[in-house]
Chain A
Amino acid sequence: MQTSPEGSIRTTQIWKRFRADKRTRYLRDELGRLAERLTGQRDSDRWRWALQGIDFSVDPGSAVGLVGVNGSGKTTLLKIINQVMFPTIGRVETNGRIGALIAISAGIHPNLTGRENIMLTASFLGLSRKQAAARFDEIVAFSELEHAIDRQAKYYSMGMQGRLGFGVAAFLEPAILLVDEVLAVGDAAFQQRCLDRMRHVLSQGTTLVFVSHDLASVEATCSRTIWLSEGRVVDDGLTRDVLSAYRGSSETGGAIGVGRGGPVSIHRVAVQTPGLSSVQSNGTLEIELELESDAPYRAWVYLGVSEGTATPIFLVNPGRETLFESGRRTTIRCEIDQLPLPKGRFYLWAGVYARDRLGPELLPWQAAAQFDVYGPRLDEAPRAIVRLAPLQLTSSWTVEQSA
């Protein structure tokens, strides 16, 4: 531990279990358990492993994203790194002061003013009053709380609490910064400033562990990402690779083409670039969709392409109603010229809506197929710039210099 440099994190075989019936215990429960044990009955304890053998290390100054569905153990892992919680099995070694922002109102005391809260949080981080006072103005300016700093924190809105919390954690110069799903409460401008701040903190050599469901901001901040599922590391590697695998699993659930039933159902899907064995970036994308209908309908067909989530990168429709006849198959072909997608795995989503897009669903919005695009990798974005969609466009440039 003495040899590891400031800002490093190392975990060895972290296992953590909780009681399956997680609730407050009372004296009478303990007496009951004692009686059980004395009478030789098996202890009624049931345990649930929340983390199972987490092994990783983070170099100082690097940024690591942590993704996973709810209940996969992200927050538990952060708490163990932060040493708020202790592992059941395994070891954690961290070096340097840890600034943690776990949940929004972390450590904000409702009866104290914003000013008092900043000072208190500073002393939790092991800073002296003098050190905290030196950064006080910066924190207040960042959180935009000049007008409210002497008001009690219980009168703060959720967003104000979030801003105060992030300001305190990010400005007290920790060696390791743990951020858990806090940007969600701020407005768009504040989120961008948080990302800027994280980038600044990173450039000063702070280690960042960032938990978020907003995958775009994970992508913008972290070069490496760890994907947790049911308390295990599923994948650990370059953010873009891990996230595309995660996206593919998280919302389509890997269950492509298994439609929830509707009056219209998908019979066959084909996605290809004509004349080629694979889909090419900037090539033509041809989609062939064979639909079956149990009754005659006039309906709108929508197709979308996403990285796995139900939110598509783009959406297309034929621009007019499609006629379905009962008991017959309807084949729909769609060609997209110059597909603006980079190399990667994408998903075709489809939905059919009666009358117009606001009408009742005939085919619920669902992943119909997955396809791999070959071509150039997505251009790297500067750090802390969140790209809304991974589009790869061809562009031509001229640069002129004048005296």
Chain B
Amino acid sequence: MFKRALSSASVLVAENGNAVDGAESPQVVRAAPASVPVLSPPTELWFKRRIKLRQAFRDIWRFRELILSLAERDYRARYKQAVLGVAWAMLTPVLLVIVFTIVFTRVQRVETGGVPYVLFSYLGLIPWTFFSSSVTGGGQSIVTNMALVNKVACPREVFPLATIAITTLDSLISSAVLVILFGIEGFAPKPETLYAPLLLLVLLVYTLGVTLIVAAALVYLRDLRLVLPLVMQLGLFLTPIAYGIDVIARSRGMQLVYSFLDPVAPVVDSLRRTVLYGLAPDWQLVGMGTAGALLLLVGGYALFKRLEVGIADIA
């Protein structure tokens, strides 16, 4: 590239009239910045991304209205075309619970310890649907919003955050079905349900971490998008949604490692313990899950911020 700058600088423009050296066509010649010497970039000024946590939180807070506006926009855009409207949000978990109930009570019985299977699996499906649709939707949010990303300045995490805002709302709507199911089955949730918000917080942390990583990675590696649904389908069966955690990991040690790697598992497990069985959460497993989720969020956020710098370049 410096060679080119040199050669264009050597083109001489005659004062009044004739002769331009080395020009094939008059249009090709540009007034070369002949006086500008060939520079080399000052490497000490190389742009570095510094992540300041306080600044990051302040930015997100400053753009809270934008997050809500984006969420609202996506919500409107989605339901403008959907016939079922809001019921769409319930469709995925309800269909899955029907399939699970048929398969795992008729074909292969799952031991639930006296709790209706419908409740058992639906309680797992709500957190799972939240996780998987956040990762799938939020992961693609930057790619689908590329037109905006390219033209307006804002912290890029607003796009995945807006998607998570929507999936949160979806999950609340599908939780209404859970209330109805409790009524139909004549089963009352136990008072330990009060632990649930704490468990859902762990789920949120984990979901945020994964979504941020996927969102940034998809910009750079577009073909990952094709792999994503496959991974999510596998995840549904690698996570104790249709069955208990002991189906996947039998020994206590295995369960601890497993909880660290897949924090959705201890969350679902302890949700069932508290809501359905009236037990305290399995603190050891939840602790491992929390550690895994936090690690992923911190690492994911750092990665996201690093990759954020180049997003507009390759759009």
Contact = CB atoms under 8 A, between A and B. Distances in A.
Interface in B126-170: 147-154
Interface string A249-288: 1101111111010000000010000000000000000000
Contact of B39 (A25, A26, A53, A79): A53
Interface of B: 1, 5, 8, 13-14, 16-20, 23, 25-33, 36, 39, 41-43, 45-47, 49, 62-63, 65-66, 68-70, 73, 76-77, 80, 147-154, 220-224, 309-310, 312-314
Interface of A: 12-13, 15, 18-19, 22, 24-28, 30, 47-49, 52-53, 69, 79, 82-91, 98, 100, 102-103, 105-107, 109, 111-112, 116, 119-121, 123-124, 126, 128-129, 229-230, 232, 234, 245, 248-250, 252-258, 260, 269, 366-367, 369-370
A89 B147 CA distance: 25
Interchain residue pairs A-B with the least CB separation, the first 6: A249-B31, A255-B26, A254-B13, A257-B17, A106-B151, A253-B29
Contacts of A230: 5, 8, 30, 33
Contact of A25 (B13, B25, B41, B221): B221
Given A84-B151, A126-B66, 10 more contacts: A24-B222, A24-B314, A100-B152, A103-B151, A107-B152, A111-B76, A234-B31, A255-B13, A255-B23, A260-B26
Contacts of A253: 23, 26-31
Contact of A27 (B20, B42, B69, B224): B224
A111 B77 contact: yes
Contacts of A15: 41-42, 45
Contacts of B45: 12-13, 15, 89-91
B contact patch SS: loop
9 contacts: A22-B314, A26-B221, A47-B1, A69-B30, A79-B312, A85-B312, A100-B151, A107-B148, A255-B20
A276 to B, nearest CB: 16
- Looking at B30, B49, B310, the one whose CB has the most chain A CB atoms below 10 A away is B30
A87 B48 CA distance: 10
Nearest to A48: B1
Given A82-B153, A84-B151, A89-B46, A120 B69 contact: yes
A87 B30 CA distance: 26
Contacts of B147: 105, 107
A13 B43 CA distance: 10
Nearest to B29: A253
Nearest to A102: B151
A269 B154 contact: no
A335 B49 CA distance: 65
A30 B29 contact: no
A86 B47 contact: yes
Contact of B41 (A22, A52, A116): A52
A120 B191 CA distance: 43
Contacts of A87: 47
Given A84-B152, A107-B147, A258 B18 contact: yes
A151 to B, nearest CB: 13
Given A100-B151, A232-B36, A370 B16 contact: yes
A249 B222 CA distance: 42
A245 B31 CA distance: 9
A98 B152 CA distance: 10
Given A109-B73, A111-B77, A124-B66, A229 B30 contact: yes
A103 B149 CA distance: 13
Contact of B153 (A52, A83, A89): A83
B37 to A, nearest CB: 11
A186 to B, nearest CB: 19
B151 A85 contact: no
Contact of B33 (A24, A27, A232, A370): A232
Contact of A86 (B14, B26, B309): B309
Contacts of B62: 126
A27 B312 CA distance: 19
Given A119-B69, A255-B20, A53 B29 contact: no
Contact of B25 (A88, A252, A254, A260): A260
A28 B69 CA distance: 36
A84 B63 CA distance: 15
A253 B18 CA distance: 13
B152 A252 contact: no
Nearest to A105: B147
Contact of A120 (B26, B73, B149, B223): B73
B63 A254 contact: no
Nearest to B26: A255
A53 B80 CA distance: 48
Nearest to A269: B17
- Looking at A47, A84, A269, the one whose CB has the most chain B CB atoms below 10 A away is A84
A83 B151 CA distance: 9
Contacts of B77: 109, 111-112
Given A112-B77, A253-B30, A107 B151 contact: yes
B41 A89 contact: yes
Contact of B20 (A26, A229, A254): A254
Contacts of B80: 111
Nearest to B4: A230
Contact of A112 (B1, B36, B63, B73): B73
B46 A88 contact: yes
